[in-house]
């Protein structure tokens, strides 16, 4: 199982400790046509690591070594079973970090991060695994060992198979080693909280912030419904008329930060701004983030079951998306709570539902269908970081045209001619 709560029982679980062992297992599965699903820590939310056809689950749990850290070249080489947090800790000891920062960092594996292209708030400034991985070692569906990418900060020889494997959800190859690009830790950081009258004025502020030269290292938002929940379920203090909230962080050298805070504050100011708080101490930073952090426990209390999507639209279309979502919520009689990574236009759309109410489940299905149409109309994409897995595969054909999908299926065929690697995931079933 994974965090989608889908279950399936594999026939075998293998726990290799080396690239060579992975190669032997995959070659055997290829020969015997046995399905094989690579697994990190099973924290994925879309069912991609669930072995729906039985077969072999190949867990990377015992391939958890950091193979080298090379500060001069800003590179770290790791096995796929290392957790994101272990990478951060090892990099920090040398004054670096690896930018992808999913909230699940303490539990999730680098293999899973790469296979889903997972990220977090820092992506707005520092990018996702695709922008922070130089190369991979992997085993294709035939048991062939391959190396992709480079060990250098530039390189243009051959096709970019690194970016192809990243985000491929274990359908093309099993990753056995990753060469990660490290970034120096910023010397200092400042935290701001901006409260707006409504989502329109907050979204306009996001567009203004992203249009000026200082890129925040976090630009998160929560909508009016989410604020309402926080009010009822936490001690967080917010102005009465608050209709949207932005959490903004800037980082850099201490000398540059004052200017950065000023630039971002100026962009944040404008119509609809009710309050702009700039934290002056760690205690104040914690207090500002407490508002945002109260949301998950509040959501869990109110709606233990929810449908959680992670759609993306261009930042300039965020207000239209939120308006559209409000209309859909009203029309289908479903409560929708939105929050997310505003700087990337990556919105976590939460449909709060009672799974024991068949009428509500039916309404949610229709609502979700229209949510995806709306997102695509706004030139968006169905998922920013959670991937497709099984949850969204039926909708992929709406985003990707038939010719491009056919080419992708041919690529899968080349990497994995017997279709043993994570079969029937990611693409619409035929
Ligand atoms: C509380 C919580 C918070 C979360 N927060 C975030 C967040 O902020 N941002 C975010 O993006 N996600 C988030 N997630 C989702 C999840 O943590 C990420 O998708 C994570 O990257 C999954 O890693 P994993 O090791 O658990 O992978 P798994 O779930 O085990 O696998 C995910 C995919 O990776 C493939 N895979 C795993 N290892 C390999 C390998 N070696 N080679 C090839 N394919 C492989 C699997 O086949 C599967 O397709 C959250 C989840 C939870 C439960």
CA of 259 from ligand 1 middle (Å) equals: 37
Ligand 1 binding pocket includes 408 (Cβ within 6 Å): no
pLDDT, position 26: 98
Report pLDDT for 89. 98
Which residues have CB under 8 Å from 54's CB, separation 6+?
Answer: 8, 9, 10, 11, 35
**What are the structural domains of the chain?**
66-184 (3.30.465.10), 188-293 (3.30.70.2190), 303-385 (3.30.70.2740)
Report residue 282: phi and psi, to 5°.
-60, -35
* Whole-structure pTM value: 0.96
CA distance linking residue 115 with residue 102, whole number of Å: 13
Q: Are 176 and 137 in contact (CB under 8 A)?
A: yes
Coil, strand or helix: which one is 265? helix
Distance separating alpha carbons of residues 82 and 41, to the nearest angstrom = 10
User: According to the model, what pLDDT value does residue 232 have?
Assistant: 73
Atom 19 (ligand 1): residue with closest C-alpha? 44
Phi, psi dihedrals of residue 277, rounded to the nearest 5°:
-110, 135
Q: How many CB atoms lie within 10 A of CB 406?
A: 11
Instruction: Report pLDDT for 294.
Output: 80
Tell me what pLDDT residue 291 has. 80
pLDDT at 292: 80
**H-run or E-run covering 148:** strand 145-149
Specify the DSSP class assigned to residue 83.
B
Q: How high is the pLDDT of residue 356?
A: 84
Instruction: Name the DSSP class of 126.
Output: H
Contact present, 171 and 412 (Cβ < 8 Å): yes
pLDDT in tens, the chain (430 residues): 999 989 999 999 999 999 999 999 999 999 999 999 999 999 999 999 999 999 999 999 999 999 999 999 999 999 999 999 999 999 999 999 999 999 999 999 999 999 999 999 999 999 999 999 999 999 999 999 999 999 999 999 999 999 999 999 999 999 999 999 999 999 999 999 999 999 999 999 999 999 999 999 999 999 998 898 888 776 767 888 999 999 999 999 999 999 999 999 999 999 999 999 999 999 889 888 888 888 877 887 777 678 889 999 999 999 899 999 999 999 999 999 999 999 999 999 999 988 788 998 899 999 999 999 999 999 999 999 999 999 999 999 999 999 999 999 999 999 999 999 999 999 999 8
> How many angstroms separate the CA atoms of 380 and 393, rounded?
16
CB atoms within 10 A of CB 36: 28
Q: Which of 104, 141, 177, 381 to mutate to test the pocket of ligand 1 (most atoms within 8 A of CB)?
A: 104
42 lines ligand 1 (CB under 6 A): yes
Instruction: Tell which one of 5, 6, 36, 43 to mutate to probe ligand 1, the residue whose CB is within 8 A of the most ligand atoms.
Output: 43
Atom of ligand 1 nearest to the CA of 3: 53
The answer, yes or no, to whether any atom of ligand 1 lies below 6 A from the CB of 116, is yes
- Pair 45, 383: CB distance under 8 Å: no
Record the tokens describing residue 316, joined without a space: 């300039």
Verify whether ligand 1 is closer than 6 Å to residue 43 (CB atom).
yes
E strands within 264-385?
A: 273-278, 306-312, 335-341, 346-352
Measure the CA–CA gap between 186 and 92, rounded to whole angstroms.
11
Burial class from Cβ neighbours inside 10 Å (0-12, 13-18, 19+) for residue 398 reads middle
- The answer, yes or no, to whether any atom of ligand 1 lies below 6 A from the CB of 2, is yes
Rounded to whole angstroms, the Cα distance separating 345 from 151 reads 32
Q: What value does the CA radius of gyration of the chain take, rounded to a whole number of Å?
A: 22
Q: Is 122 in the pocket of ligand 1 (CB under 6 A)?
A: no
Pick from 412, 388, 410: which is nearest to 398 by CA?
Answer: 388
CA distance 411 to 400: 15
pLDDT at 108: 98
């Amino acid at each position: 199982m994974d965090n989608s709560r889908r279950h399936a029982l594999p026939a075998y679980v293998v726990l290799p400790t080396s690239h060579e062992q992975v190669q032997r297992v995959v070659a055997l599965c290829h020969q015997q046509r046995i399905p094989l699903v690579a697994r990190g820590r099973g924290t994925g939310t879309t069912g991609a690591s669930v072995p729906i056809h039985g077969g072999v689950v190949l867990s990377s749990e015992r391939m958890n070594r950091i193979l080298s850290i090379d500060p001069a070249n800003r590179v770290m080489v790791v096995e796929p079973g290392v957790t994101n947090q272990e990478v951060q800790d090892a990099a920090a000891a040398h004054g670096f970090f690896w930018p992808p920062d999913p909230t699940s960092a303490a539990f999730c594996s680098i293999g899973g991060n790469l296979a889903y292209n997972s990220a977090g708030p820092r992506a707005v400034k520092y990018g996702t695994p695709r922008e922070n991985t130089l190369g991979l070692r992997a085993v294709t569906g035939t048991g062939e060992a391959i190396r992709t990418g480079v060990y250098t900060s530039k390189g243009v020889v051959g096709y970019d198979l690194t970016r192809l494997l990243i985000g491929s959800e274990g359908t093309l190859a099993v990753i056995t080693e990753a060469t990660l690009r490290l970034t120096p830790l910023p010397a200092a950081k400042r935290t701001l909280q901006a409260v707006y009258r409504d989502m329109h004025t907050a979204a306009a502020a996001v567009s203004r912030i992203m249009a000026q030269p200082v890129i925040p290292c976090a630009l998160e938002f929560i909508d009016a419904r989410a604020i309402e929940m926080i009010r009822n379920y936490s001690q967080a203090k917010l102005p009465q008329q608050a209709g949207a909230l932005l959490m903004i962080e800037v980082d850099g050298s201490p000398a540059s930060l004052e200017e950065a805070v000023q630039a971002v504050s100026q962009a944040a100011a404008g119509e609809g701004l009710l309050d702009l708080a700039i934290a002056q101490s760690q205690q104040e930073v914690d207090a500002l983030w407490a508002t945002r952090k109260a949301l998950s426990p509040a959501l869990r209390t109110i709606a233990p079951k929810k449908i959680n999507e992670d759609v993306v639209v261009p930042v300039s279309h965020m207000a239209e998306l939120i308006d559209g979502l409000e209309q859909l919520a009203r029309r289908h009689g479903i409560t929708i709570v939105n929050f997310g990574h505003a700087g990337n236009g990556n919105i976590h759309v939460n449909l709060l539902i009672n799974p024991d109410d068949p009428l509500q489940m039916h309404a949610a299905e229709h609502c979700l269908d229209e949510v995806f149409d709306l997102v695509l109309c706004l030139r968006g994409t169905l998922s920013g970081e959670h991937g497709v897995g099984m949850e969204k595969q039926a909708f992929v054909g709406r985003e990707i045209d038939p010719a491009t999908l056919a080419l992708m299926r041919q690529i899968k065929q080349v990497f994995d001619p017997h279709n043993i690697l994570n079969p029937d995931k990611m693409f619409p079933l035929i």
